[in-house]
Every structure is written in structure tokens, then in C-alpha cells.
């Protein structure tokens, strides 16, 4: 979890049985972050046909990785839940390069997303409020019902299968052992 303060960014890394705190002095970090976000919006900056722009982009990207993530990734994990604060809420951390190298095209870059599963939450208490159900137990379906009184005028032959939507959703739910 990140806390963006007036003079520093505080990072709290929580692992199964460990809590680590890092204080990162702000210095030029706000400008560095703003420049990276600006360059990220411009695809020409990250294309390999402009070597200088590509080198600058990789330098910014790996610089932010080294500042914000490398200090907390010393314990081996491939799953990250990032809780950003302030301007860090705009940073897609999975776009950060873990190292600077002379890559010939974007597919060769060492992006964080290639080695880590990245999720975002916007408040730490949401970690404890998440349901503890396994993903295999989850099922959701959307099936519009065109048979209600307010939809009589909309229900026409121009909507094929209009009455089968709910039946199909129920059939799939039974196969997945849902409701």
C-alpha cells in the first residue's frame, strides 16, 4: 500500500507473515511520474522505430520500477495487490519495465506483467471484505426479460430468442452448479 505525503511516499508491503515499510523521498518523483504517464499516452514514444524515444521511455519505466516496486519485491512472489495513493492511482504498474536493455521490439521488454499477476484495490480494508469463495464457485449471467408489463411494447419479433434468454442462463447456471 502506498501513501503519497508532502515529503515522501510511504510503502507498506505485507506478505503472509511479514510487514515492511519503506520511505521514499519525493525529490523529483512527481515530475518523473508525470513524464512517464504523458509518454505512456503517446504510442510513438514506446515504438522501436525511434531509438532515442524508446531509450527514454525504458529509462523512465525502469526508473519508476526501481523506485516504487523493486524495494518491496525482494521476497519471491508473483502476485501483487497494489493499493495506490495520490498520483500513483494513475500508474499502470504492470507497464513498468524491470530493467533497461537494448530491446529490438516491445515484445522483448521485461514488463512487470510478464512475471507478476497485478491487481489493484483502492483501500486496504477491501482485502478483508472480499468474499472467500473460490473462483470456480462464481457464476454470473445477464439475461434480459422482455416479458414484463413495461416491456410489452418493446417485445417484438425483431428480437430473436427474446424469451429464451432467461432459460438459457438458468440452464448454464445449473451446469455450473449456480443459482
**Tens-digit pLDDT profile for residues 82-132:** 999 999 999 999 989 888 765 555 556 788 888 889 999 888 777 776 655
Q: How far is CA 7 from the centre of its chain?
A: 26
- Can you tell me the distance from the alpha carbon of 8 to that of 30, in angstroms, rounded to the nearest whole number? 10
Calculate mean pLDDT across residues 1-29.
87
pLDDT score of 142 more than 80: no
Share the mean pLDDT of the chain: 76
Calculate mean pLDDT across residues 48-68.
83
Give the pLDDT band (50/70/90) at residue 153.
very low
Amino acid at each position: 500500500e502506498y501513501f503519497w505525503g508532502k515529503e515522501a511516499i510511504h510503502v507498506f508491503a505485507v506478505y503472509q507473515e511479514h510487514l515492511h515499510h519503506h520511505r521514499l523521498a519525493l525529490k523529483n518523483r512527481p515530475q518523473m511520474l508525470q513524464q512517464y504517464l504523458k509518454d505512456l499516452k503517446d504510442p510513438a514514444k514506446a515504438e522501436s522505430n525511434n531509438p532515442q524515444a524508446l531509450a527514454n521511455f525504458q529509462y523512465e519505466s525502469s526508473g519508476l520500477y526501481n523506485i516504487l516496486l523493486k524495494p518491496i519485491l525482494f521476497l519471491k512472489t508473483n502476485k501483487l495487490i497494489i493499493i495506490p495513493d495520490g498520483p500513483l492511482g494513475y500508474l499502470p504498474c504492470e507497464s513498468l519495465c524491470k530493467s533497461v536493455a537494448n530491446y529490438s521490439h516491445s515484445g522483448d521488454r521485461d514488463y512487470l506483467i510478464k512475471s507478476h499477476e497485478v491487481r489493484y484495490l483502492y483501500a486496504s480494508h477491501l482485502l478483508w471484505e472480499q468474499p472467500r469463495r473460490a473462483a470456480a464457485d462464481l457464476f454470473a449471467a445477464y439475461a434480459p426479460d422482455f416479458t414484463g408489463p413495461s416491456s410489452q411494447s418493446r417485445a417484438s419479433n425483431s428480437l430473436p430468442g427474446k424469451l429464451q434468454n432467461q432459460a438459457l442462463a438458468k440452464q448454464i447456471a445449473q451446469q455450473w452448479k449456480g443459482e
